[in-house]
Every structure is written in structure tokens, then in C-alpha cells.
Amino acid sequence: MDFPTVATAASLVSNAISSLKNVREMAKETSNDDLNAKINDAYGALLDLREYALVIDDENRKLKEQIAAKANYLGPLPPHGYYYSASDADKKHPLCPKCYQSDPQQLGFMDEPKNWSYGIKRDCKLCGKTIWEVPPNYAQHETLREYDPYG
């Protein structure tokens, strides 16, 4: 339901409340207690409906704001699941997937790639999560460890 539909629904409820208010005033002049009770029940139900329409309108507005905010970011993009700002055309400043997907959402940037244990990694500057862009090559590490230049 978009905003014009909710606004129209709220307007219709307001018109119905006005009409029912007039009928209730006219019914007060009669001595039919059952009729007065039914009119009061209908009036209460319309007020509840109006309140519910306003809550839905507020929720709808918040969801639209969230959708608009998400359009400012791209991702998750393979192979590492990074998110990027839409303004980062070169994709040089990835956002941390863990932070981006957290609730509440945070925008943690990954640091520059680092060579580490014959692999390449990035760490989140906010939460510290490590993502290996090139997995560490422990076999290469062991080969170098076995080499003894003095032996």
C-alpha cells in the first residue's frame, strides 16, 4: 500500500467518522438504546481503524526510507561478499559484510590488503573481522621454516 492509498484510506475513515458522528447525534434524540449502543460500537471501531491506518502509514514511511538508504550501497559482491558505497566506482574501499548485515546496521570499512602468511587479508576497522582474499599458504610457510641457511 503506497502513501496515496493510505492517505485516501485515512480520508475515507475520517469522512465515515464524521457521518457516524452526525448519526449518533441524531440517535441521541431517540429513546432506542440498542440503536445508540450499535452506533457507539461502530464509532469506536472506526476510531480503531483510523489509528491502525496511521500506524501502517508510519511503518510504510520508515520502510521506504530504509529501501532508499539501501540503494546507496552495492553488495554483497563475489568473491568475498563485500559491500561498497554506490559512490565508490573503483571499488577500492569495501565495507565489512558482518557490520553491514548486523542489526542495527553499522558501516565498518575494511583496511588495505595485507600480505600475511603468504596470503592476502583485510581486517574490518570497526569489528576486527578478517577476510582472506588469498588464503594463507601454510605449506609455503613450512618449506621456508625447514630451510636452515646455517645448516
pLDDT tens digit string along 75-125? Answer: 899 999 999 998 888 889 999 999 999 988 899 999 999 998 889 999 999
pLDDT over threshold 60, residue 6: no
82-85 and 130-134: which strand pairing?
unpaired
Is 75:110 a contact under the CB 8 Å cutoff? no
The pLDDT score that the predictor gives to residue 125 is: 95
Check residue 30 and give its pLDDT: 78
| Helix residue spans in 71-134 (DSSP H) | 97-100
- Alpha carbon separation from 142 to 5, 98, 135 (Å, rounded): 67, 32, 15
Q: What is the pTM of this model?
A: 0.54
Residues with Cβ within 8 Å of 89's Cβ and at least 6 positions away in sequence, in order, are none
